Structure 1
Amino acid sequence: MKKIITIAFLLSMSFNMTAQELVVYETTEDIIKTMHNDDFSVKVRKPGGLWKDLFEYNVKVDQVIGTGHSVQNASMASFDFSGTVEIAVTSSKGTINKARVRPLSKGIKTQINENTLYFTLTNPANLSVEINDDIFHNLHLFANPIEKNKPNPKDKKVLYFGPGIHEIPNQILKVPSNKILYLAGGAVLKGQILIDNVQNVKVCGRGIVDQEVRLGVKIAFSKNITVQDIFASQCLTGESDRVTIQNVKTISFFGWGDGMNIMAANNVLFDGVFIRSSDDCTTVYGTRKEFKGGAKNITMQNSTLWADVGHPILIGTHGNSEKPDVLENLNYQNIDILDQKEKQLDYQGCLAINVGDNNLAKNVLFENIRVEDFREGQLLNLRVFYNTKYCTAPGLGIENVVFRNIDYNGQNANTSIIAGYNEQRKIKNISFENLKINGVLITDEMQGKPKWYKTADMAGIFVGEHAEGIIFKMN
């Protein structure tokens, strides 16, 4: 009898662990009237179950045409699930000739039936669904894990916003210490979330900070801060400590629309974020604007970056020339880079360390990074430079950088650059381990490399003066 009960219990536990869950969010009339994009109709269901409609938000993105900028209307939808989910995306523009779901590393297979695209997910993912090669009127689809430990709206520590549009006086919502700000799925906040000179704050939920609000989330002079799952235009962290930003999505469309900046902050973790930006996706600076000091212990992992303009990753431009800053222990791991579009040679590089203002950047790791065929730019750009437009002095140096398991597949990359400034301001100790360019492993011992070639030539990298200790190897 005990044996039968034990088996029944184990079967019950197994069923619960693999149970299918699917959650779609409530949409209110004010959102339906003002925020809908009808390019797509998106439905989700448990395998073989009833289809559930998602609401397709209109989001703006930046398309560079020539040297000018043109704001385009794209779509966004989201839901929560566990187990397996089936998705149907119907285009209102007619027949789908071809389609892709990115990042390509997800390996998502699609089926097309006239104007509807079908595919299946077994894990949460932040995706771009692109029909007939159109990346500016695409569907941003955010398939979230099931939300756990929702805060109680009646708890005095909770600032709760339910479904619907919420107008915020002066468009600034300042969150006090020891509070939880919760934006429910279907909530739209018309104002900036400001976390300023506080501690022990959590912002969470499946809601939205209206994309028209620039710098939708600002974290300043604070510590012990968590931001999870929400959508906004931008998310900045300045002169703060112990910050976690998890599964947050940002899309910007306006000029100088950086995604997630670090300025003079320490111990910051980005995990599972999605950034599509109208300037740099993510940056690490020293002293900048009102924020002062260096930056250390910054990690971005399991994330997706898409730069409609500028760099996907940029380190080092801004600092304090009179009191030099150090930017150290910076880690970028398991990242998909979907695009870069930058005509200006000074601002190219998917993986860029450009130090100015007497900054020293050291101990930087780029690991397990997959770079898709971007439109215009460079794979990497490492320079100690003096950009007189933004800096008051050249950088001090770049030291101890590891590029491990970097995989670029594409045809549009310009020549990458590694160059120091002078004998006192060098680049030192740069290691490439398992660098692959279009499937070719680049090493100092690779076959087919003439002995008189630099290995960097085989990777399309120009190594200039004042750069030493550069190696290419298998790990």
Structure 2
Amino acid sequence: MKHLLLVVLISFGMAVQAQLKTYPVGLHTGMPHNDDYTVRVRMLGGEWQDVFEYKVQVDLDKPQDASMVQFDMGSPVEVMVKKNNGTVREVSIRPLNNNIACRQVQNAVFFTLDKPQNLSIEFNGDRLHNLHLFANPMEEEVYSEEAEGVMFFGPGIHRPKDLPNNQIRIPSNTTVYLAPGTVLKAKLLVDNAENVRIIGRGILDHPVRGIEITDAKNVLIDGITVVNPEHYTVFGGGSSEIVIRNLKTFSCKSWSDGIDMMCCRKVLVDNAFLRTGDDCIALYNHRWNWWGGSSDITVRNSVLWADVAHPINIGGHGDPDSLTGEVIENLTFHNIDILEHDEDDPLYQGCMTVDCGDKNWVRNVLFEDIRVENIQEGRLFYVKVRFNPKYDKQPGNGIEGITFRNITYTGVGENASLVQGLDKNRCVRNVVFDSIMINGVKMKHLKGIIKNEFIEDIEIK
């Protein structure tokens, strides 16, 4: 009986210990270290564990060195973040909606996390040299070696040689596993394939693109991080049944969007953290080799941070040669924190942008439970049927059925929101503003919104 009890206690202790997992130290992977912060984590009442502070670059205007740490947790943990240079006058842990209280001791702050979440920790208002903290859920599926149908990348740096375009092509019915501590310097290509899974806690480092999904079906991306790609983090073209979960990315180059989808259907983006030098999320119709419109796309439970351009951008690029135009429809954006929007050019401003060109129709879009914390330069809402010769060969056809519900904004100095049609045949119809709070004041009218005579049935609730 005593031996049985001992085995049970040991097993219980191992289970408790498994509720916090730090990753192999990153120095041997060739990833640069940032000494701006020292970060440790522990289970409540347990021993402190060091985590590796990665250097990542942010902001297109003038790339800056920020920091990133990661670990997995399955029960509450305590975190220590020590600022190693300068004094600490104030600290902010964003998204603010998470309501995380901290305790300061000299140049360090301590706080408790009761669940996995993605955070920005900012000292003295500095958002360009901040610490990004990604507390992941515990991995449910782990591999330690290659197996049938499993492409395995273990801890350490991987520089595949003699690859066309420095990319790894993934065949159908394959799981790609990037273990914690893995750094893969290549693009992952899923082309004309189905039933592909890209999972783990590893990093794609400075790829041309992070992951490319073209003419594919049933693709899962879960848990990985992409650091400073030259172009998009995830590109989808002519694909369906895509799930992107717990993806984190940083970018600081022109056209280094987060997730861009062209003519894709049945897409779910859940629990992503996207800090980008261009659009965080962009949903388009025809471009390059893909036609047929887009539909049934949901983005939820995510954090978007556009150092430049749009957090959310819908409706550009279509088929100007189509007789009827392509349709992008049935889009949902739910429970999202937008930490930043900064766009200098007034033509391209908008946290939540529906920008319809190239004979497109945009229909049935819901923005719900979205919190916007700051706009450096830009607009809160932008809904427009346009003709922009830089990007369009034809004007857009029309926008119908846009709902903004439970939106809060807490910044100052933004430009006015905009709702405009192009002409009497290319209108904006059926737009609802429901429970919009701007700095604590509920929106009650369209006063202050730039509009024209080509809009119909605009409702304030």
Compute the TM-score of the two structures, normalised by the length of structure 2: 0.93
1:419-459 C-alpha deviation (Å, 9 max, x unpaired)? 0000110000001111111111223xxxxxxxxxxx111xx
Question: Offset at 1:17?
Answer: 10
Counterpart of 1:305? 304
Counterpart of 1:279? 278
The answer to whether the 8 Å contact 1:28/1:163 transfers is no
1:110-144 C-alpha deviation (Å, 9 max, x unpaired)? 12212112111001101111111111111111100
Residue 223 of structure 1 aligns with an amino acid whose one-letter code is: K
The answer to whether the 8 Å contact 1:20/1:83 transfers is no
- 1:463 equivalenced with 2:445 (yes/no): no
The answer to whether the 8 Å contact 1:427/1:467 transfers is yes
Distance 1:439 1:16, change over 3 A: farther
The answer to whether the 8 Å contact 1:44/1:52 transfers is yes
CA distance in 2 between partners of 1:298 and 1:464 (Å):
29
Unaligned runs of 5+ in 2: 1-11
27, 38, 41: which one aligns with 1:41 = 38
- 1:262 equivalenced with 2:261 (yes/no): yes
3-state DSSP of counterpart to 2:424: coil
- 1:196 equivalenced with 2:188 (yes/no): no
CA distance in 2 between partners of 1:299 and 1:19 (Å):
35
- 1:215 equivalenced with 2:209 (yes/no): yes
Counterpart of 2:131? 139
3-state DSSP of counterpart to 2:159: strand
The answer to whether the 8 Å contact 1:20/1:84 transfers is no
CA distance in 2 between partners of 1:28 and 1:98 (Å):
29
CA distance in 2 between partners of 1:20 and 1:190 (Å):
29
3-state DSSP of counterpart to 2:28: helix
Counterpart of 2:88? 96
Residue 35 of structure 1 aligns with an amino acid whose one-letter code is: P
The answer to whether the 8 Å contact 1:421/1:465 transfers is no
CA distance in 1 between partners of 2:294 and 2:341 (Å):
25
Counterpart of 1:30? 28
1:202-241 C-alpha deviation (Å, 9 max, x unpaired)? 000000000x213111111100000001011411111101
Unaligned runs of 5+ in 1: 1-13, 64-68, 444-454
Question: Offset at 1:153?
Answer: 2.4
Residue 462 of structure 1 aligns with an amino acid whose one-letter code is: I
The answer to whether the 8 Å contact 1:373/1:412 transfers is no
Residue 456 of structure 1 aligns with an amino acid whose one-letter code is: L
CA distance in 2 between partners of 1:154 and 1:194 (Å):
19
Counterpart of 2:56? 59
1:160-179 C-alpha deviation (Å, 9 max, x unpaired)? 11110000223211111100
Question: Offset at 1:16?
Answer: 11
Question: Offset at 1:374?
Answer: 1.9
The answer to whether the 8 Å contact 2:31/2:55 transfers is no
The answer to whether the 8 Å contact 1:372/1:410 transfers is yes
% identity of equivalent residues: 42
3-state DSSP of counterpart to 2:63: strand
Counterpart of 2:19? 21
- 1:240 equivalenced with 2:239 (yes/no): yes
3-state DSSP of counterpart to 1:413: coil
The answer to whether the 8 Å contact 2:26/2:54 transfers is no
The answer to whether the 8 Å contact 1:417/1:464 transfers is no
3-state DSSP of counterpart to 1:105: helix
CA distance in 2 between partners of 1:285 and 1:16 (Å):
48
3-state DSSP of counterpart to 1:74: strand
Equivalences for 1:66-145 in 2 at 5 Å? 69-145=61-137
1:288-326 C-alpha deviation (Å, 9 max, x unpaired)? 122222100000000010000000000011110111210
CA distance in 2 between partners of 1:271 and 1:28 (Å):
27
CA distance in 2 between partners of 1:218 and 1:308 (Å):
23
Aligned length: 443
Counterpart of 1:161? 153
CA distance in 2 between partners of 1:28 and 1:315 (Å):
37
Compute the TM-score of the two structures, normalised by the length of structure 1: 0.90
Question: Offset at 1:270?
Answer: 0.2
Counterpart of 1:227? 221
3-state DSSP of counterpart to 2:186: strand
Distance 1:20 1:456, change over 3 A: farther
Counterpart of 1:173? 168
Report the RMSD for the aligned CA atoms in angstroms: 2.0
3-state DSSP of counterpart to 1:377: coil
Question: Offset at 1:412?
Answer: 2.2
CA distance in 2 between partners of 1:101 and 1:22 (Å):
21
CA distance in 2 between partners of 1:199 and 1:111 (Å):
49
Runs of 4+ in 1 over 4 A off after TM superposition: 14-20
Mean alpha-carbon deviation: is it higher for 234-243 or for 20-29? Answer: 20-29
Question: Offset at 1:19?
Answer: 8.5
The answer to whether the 8 Å contact 1:235/1:250 transfers is no
Residue 52 of structure 2 aligns with an amino acid whose one-letter code is: F
Residue 311 of structure 1 aligns with an amino acid whose one-letter code is: H
1:154-205 C-alpha deviation (Å, 9 max, x unpaired)? 4211111111000022321111110000000100001001111100000000
CA distance in 1 between partners of 2:334 and 2:123 (Å):
29
Counterpart of 1:331? 332
Distance 1:307 1:203, change over 3 A: same
Question: Offset at 1:355?
Answer: 0.5
3-state DSSP of counterpart to 2:185: strand
